[in-house]
Structure 1
């Protein structure tokens, strides 16, 4: 296995790579302008080498970084020595970058459908509920955030899509977020996604009793880097990148997986629950004299 690469160092490497790419420079041209070797720059962009303060300043200048880019890079660089990366806002932008780089992603969802599997209507209902109890005047408009969340799901449709697995508590499916019709649509979307060969959606049913539930988390695995664990709770999120926590969440994943139905039985349960959400709508239409 490759040496552990801290999450923040990997995020910084991604930012620097994007800045260079947007400048139109190849690594060879950029390295020459920075006065370092191409090999050194390549190692920096792969998070195998930490750039010096002077090199970072040179990159920001050579790549034509904006004030926003400069702030993001220097903030990341200033925190590199610390293990892990906590205290981030929910669904930080770097999460999408890591999902796009991953070879495998596992989401455990005890209360809501994972973002990579949400329909627009479901996402809109969740975000509306969150906005009702949060005071964040600088937050993007709900529709922008819905569009961004749906666009992020494109990672699962690429030719090089990661293997994706979702473990859902049955409560996620029973609660009619957005109303019965929207929830039925959401569950049928889960069923359609589960038919893809690289996607698995499994449900932990109520009838299997209790199991170890640490709250929402994701485990992301990479071909050329060590795994990351993403945690998200109300108002905060972060990454764990040291072997100990990764091993703990790998073990927790195994216990949840053991409590879950297999793929086929999960699809059968999801179809039954979708029909339950449909039933009130059909009953109202019948009472109104409509077929």
Structure 2
């Protein structure tokens, strides 16, 4: 792993910062004085941009054999924020909840309360989400496109008032340069829905797809996977309303929540 880190041009301190762990912990791991968790191992392979052969070798040595191209991680891993921060473009698909980059603090609290976070852990979740969202306010912000199922807007997560506030925030973000928010309406009927994913493209590095399910998440970096999710994103875009119609629908739904 040291060789992969050096090849990626990262110091121990720089790599640890991207992984969300201390440099001391990473040093102990590299010196075989500490065993990396499966989540940390997946994060290292993602941050170090390990190729298929190196990834297979590391996972075989660790006794872990996930599906090819799959880098397993815990939900909302630190590498996700790092990838978002360096991406040229991000396409987010949200079938069940507002994407993290667009959540209000009240919405984030409601989502993670349902997930079992309370007290200090919940407060840190909200702060971490705010730090992630700062990427969309930079002068060099990535082009960001979010596609939401109408169900995301209809469900009053955190209560009607909090949901109205969340949708009004989505509308304000949709009016910002470089940001698009589009809705797949109920009236469209069925469409291809693979679950939550984010397709990120970079200036020099190869694209990656972040996928998320209950209790786990990870990155797919195989060319076939990127092509497949690119096609899925295009099919979702074809099913979604355009930007103006999406904003009009969001405003109507916000008004429904405010009257509830």
| Fold in common (TM above 0.5) | yes
Alpha-carbon offset, residue 150 of structure 1: 1.4
- Equivalent residue number for residue 62 of structure 2: none
CA 1:66–1:187: 2 relative to 1, 3 Å? same
- Note the residue ranges of structure 1 that are not aligned, 5 or more in a row: 1-8, 23-63, 281-291
| 1:166-223 CA distance string (max 9 Å, x none) | 0000000000000000000000000000001100000000001110000000000001
Quote the offset at 1:19 in angstroms: 1.6
1:263/1:95 CA distance change after superposition, 3 Å: same
Scaled by the length of structure 2, the TM-score of the pair is 0.79
Measure how far apart 1:65 and its partner are. Answer: 3.8
Does the 8 A contact of 2:170 with 2:181 survive in 1?
Answer: yes
C-alpha separation in 1, matches of 2:164 and 2:205: 38
Number of equivalences: 224
Structure 2: distance between partners of 1:21 and 1:202: 35
Which of 10, 13, 16 lines up with 2:8 in the alignment? Answer: 13
Counterpart residue number, 2:158 = 178
Q: Which residue of 1 aligns with 2:231?
A: 251
Q: Secondary structure at the match of 2:147?
A: strand
Cα 1:18/1:191, change in 2 over 3 Å: farther
Q: 1:17 to 1:117 in 2, by over 3 A?
A: farther
| Partner Cα distance (1:69, 1:126) in 2 | 35
Alignment of 1:203-242 (within 5 A): 203-242=183-222
Higher Cα radius of gyration: 1
Rate the CA distance shift 1:252–1:19 in 2: closer, same or farther, 3 A: same
C-alpha change, 1:17 and 1:116, in structure 2 (3 Å) is farther
Q: 1:66 aligns with which of 24, 29, 32?
A: 24
Report what 1:128 is aligned to.
Answer: 113
Aligned runs of 1:148-163 on 2, under 5 Å? 148-163=128-143
